Amino acid sequence: MSRAPIEPIVGRYMRVPILGEACRVYFEEAGQGIPLVCLHTAGADARQFRHLLCDEGITDRFRVLAFDMPWHGKSYPPQGWEDREYRLTTERYVATILAFCEALDLDRPVVMGCSIGGRIVLQLAHAHGERFRALIGLEAADYQAPWYDTDWLHRADVHGGEVCAGLISGLIAPQSPAPHRHETLWQYMQGGPGVFKGDLHFYRADADLRGKLGGIDTRRCPLYLLTGEYDFSCSPEDTVRTAAGIPGAKVTIMREVGHFPMSENPAQFKRYLLPVLEEIAASTPAIAPDARGKDRT
Amino acid sequence: MTTITRETESLLCARFEAAIPSRVNDDAHLVWRGRHLATRCLIGIGETAFVLRIDAGRIAECRTPPPLMSSCTFAVHGTVDAWEQFWLSPPPPGWHDLFALSKRGEVRFEGDLHPFLSHLQYFKDVLALPRKGGTA
């Protein structure tokens, strides 16, 4: 037995084709029960969800899974990446999420995504709602106005990691604890060259969803939108405007939180997330203890 | 400009001068983070302009008004409201970051922004120093 505390998170790699390309995807998981798939922000990786993965108040009812998208974290880009510019598209993003869920044979998982993950959650609600038990968009909106030129993110005469972190540092609430703030920034300092910029291609150029979210049935697949009051990229007004066009969407504005609730201030985030998860769990038939692991690989 | 705004601007400028250059140059790690930086920039507080000459991360000079015919590589102009709110601790949402202020039209960036963006966190931290106990 180890003398040091060992966290309950288990990390594994899966080999899964995405848009016809072989990808090796790293994911972490903890807990048992309702599958809860977490999508990290642009230019970051699944470490953002480490606090959630270690929270027994959540993992006692939810099987929490978080994967690094190809190009991010411990998931390599597919072979041949060196010959093309990385640009995330709606098609690639949806294909990645569906491939991950299908590969693990997840039964109508809950998907919770932040920032670009929040944007794609809206697309999932629109086009694939029947596949999911519920959807949670953090810092999510159908569109938000740009606030800097993304060309600065990938150029030879500026350190990509430092400028990425420097830009997003202002999206963290001033009240967020310093260790969590700097851990969040460290993730951005570690991104591959051009990856944050490539993710923002999806955000800014490819996925303007204004006027394209018709037909979302929140009775069949509940949609929750939670946004931090200090997020000036996806502002509370952006989220409220988006929700106004989706009957039944539930909005929560989180105090003293910015654009990265799960990693910048996990304790504050939990106060807002837990009631949402409790509502989802309450609407899900109880899973018998001996069946809890049935979604496991 | 109203009398009240002019008084607020004077107080903000005094606060800026109380923090800069001393609180930069006394912070060895902040200076180290700017060790490759040499530039001249203009910081506008309302209608008041300060010219900073930065050499190897130290604020070598902070002058207002700028010398005649002085030139700067880039400028950060903020309204009186912008700096007043930005330097509150904690600053209110939407007023807490230079880019939040830029997005709402209270700050504008001008000139060659390469020194600024290649040392972005350095400049954010320097310009937040008048906010006692806060972080950028």
What does A75-116 look like in DSSP terms, one character per residue?
-PPPTTGGGS-----HHHHHHHHHHHHHHTT-SS-EEEEETH
Check CB contact of B70 with chain A, cutoff 8 Å.
no
Residues of A in contact with B82 (CB under 8 A): none
Q: How far apart, in Å, are the Cα atoms of A128 and each of A124, B23, B59, B90?
A: 5, 54, 56, 41
Instruction: Provide the 10 A C-beta neighbour count for residue B114.
Output: 15
Q: Smallest Cβ distance to A170: which of B89, B96, B134?
A: B96
Among chain B residues, CA nearest to A176: B135
Which is it for the CA torsion A206, A207, A212, A217, positive or negative? positive
Please check whether residue A110 is in contact with residue A136, taking contact to mean a CB–CB distance below 8 angstroms.
Answer: yes
Cβ atoms A238, A203 nearer than 8 A: no
Sheet holding B58-63, edge to edge: B58-63, B48-55, B38-45, B74-78, B107-111
pLDDT tens profile B48-101? 999 999 999 999 999 999 999 989 999 999 999 999 999 999 999 999 999 999
| Amino acid of residue B132 | K
User: Could you give the count of Cα atoms lying within 13 Å of A190 in the half-sphere of its Cβ?
Assistant: 14
CB contact under 8 A, B99 and A170: yes
pLDDT in tens, chain A (297 residues): 689 999 999 999 999 999 999 999 999 999 999 999 999 999 999 999 999 999 999 999 999 999 999 999 999 999 999 999 999 999 999 999 999 999 999 999 999 999 999 999 999 999 999 999 999 999 999 999 999 999 999 999 999 999 999 999 999 999 999 999 999 999 999 999 999 999 999 999 898 999 999 889 999 999 999 999 999 999 999 999 999 999 999 999 999 999 999 999 999 999 999 999 999 999 986 554 444 444 443
Contact A169 B94 (CB under 8 A): no
Q: Which candidate, A103, A147, A68, A113, places its Cα nearest to that of A223?
A: A113
Q: pLDDT value at position A294?
A: 46
Residue A159 Cα, gap to closest chain B Cα (Å)? 7
Exposed, middle or buried: residue A217 (CB in 10 Å: 0-12, 13-18, 19+)? middle
Question: Nearest CA of chain B to the CA of A236: how many Å?
Answer: 10
Give the three-state DSSP class for A52. helix
Please give the ipTM for the structure prediction.
0.94
Question: Which of A151, A157, A162 is most worth mutating to test chain B (most B CB atoms within 10 A of its CB)?
Answer: A162
Alpha helices in chain B (DSSP H): 3-19, 22-25, 28-33, 80-86, 98-103, 114-118, 120-128
Mutate to test the interface with B, among A182, A189, A230, A239 (most CBs of B within 10 A): A230
| Angstroms from A155 CA to nearest CA on chain B | 10
Q: Name A217's bridge partners.
A: none
The CATH H-level superfamily of A10-286 is Alpha/Beta hydrolase fold, catalytic domain (3.40.50.1820)
Contacts of A147 in chain B (CB under 8 A): 99-100, 102-103
- Residues of chain B neighbouring A237 (CB-CB closer than 8 A): none
B-chain residues near A175 (CB < 8 A): 90
Cα distances (Å, whole numbers) of residue A95 to A124, A157, A205, A297:
11, 34, 18, 20
CA dist., res. A60 & res. A154, Å (int)? 42
CA A208 – CA A202 distance, rounded (Å)? 9
pTM given for the model:
0.95
pLDDT of B136: 45
Query: Do A207 and A90 contact (CB within 8 A), yes or no?
Result: yes
Please judge whether A147 and B103 are an interchain contact, meaning their C-beta atoms are less than 8 angstroms apart. Answer: yes
Q: Which residues of A touch B118 (CB under 8 A)?
A: 157-159, 162-163
Please tell me the distance in Å from A128's CA to the nearest CA on chain B: 34
B21 part of contact set with chain A, CB < 8 Å: no
| CB contact (8 A) between residue A166 and residue B93 | no
Set out the domains of chain B in order of their start, with CATH numbers: 3-128 (3.30.1050.10)
Asked if residue A48 lies in contact with residue A258, where contact means CB atoms within 8 angstroms, the answer is no
Residues sharing a CB contact under 8 Å with residue A244, sequence separation 6 or more, in sequence order: none
B83 burial via Cβ count (<10 Å: 0-12, 13-18, 19+): buried
Question: Which residue among B100, B120, B134 places its CB closest to the CB of A163?
Answer: B120
A 10 A CB-CB count for B101 gives 25
* pLDDT of res. A110: 98
Residue in A115, A122, A153, A280 with CA at minimum distance from that of residue A216 = A122
Phi and psi (nearest 5°) for A154?
-145, 90
In chain B, the residue whose alpha carbon lies closest to the alpha carbon of A167 is B120
- Asked if the Cβ–Cβ distance from B100 to A158 is below 8 Å, we say no
Nearest alpha-carbon partner for A132 in A112, A118, A116, A103: A112
Q: Cβ–Cβ of B124/A145 closer than 8 Å?
A: no
Q: Contacts of residue B96 in chain A, CB cutoff 8 Å? A: 170, 173-174, 230, 232
Q: Give the residue on A whose Cα is nearest the Cα of B115.
A: A158
Instruction: Find the residue in A nearest to B135 (Cα).
Output: A174
CA–CA separation, A33 and A97 (whole Å): 19
User: CA–CA separation, A213 vs B84, rounded Å?
Assistant: 40
pLDDT band at B4 (very low <50, low <70, confident <90, very high): confident
C-alpha span between A257 and A271 (Å, rounded): 11
Contact B118 A157 (CB under 8 A): yes
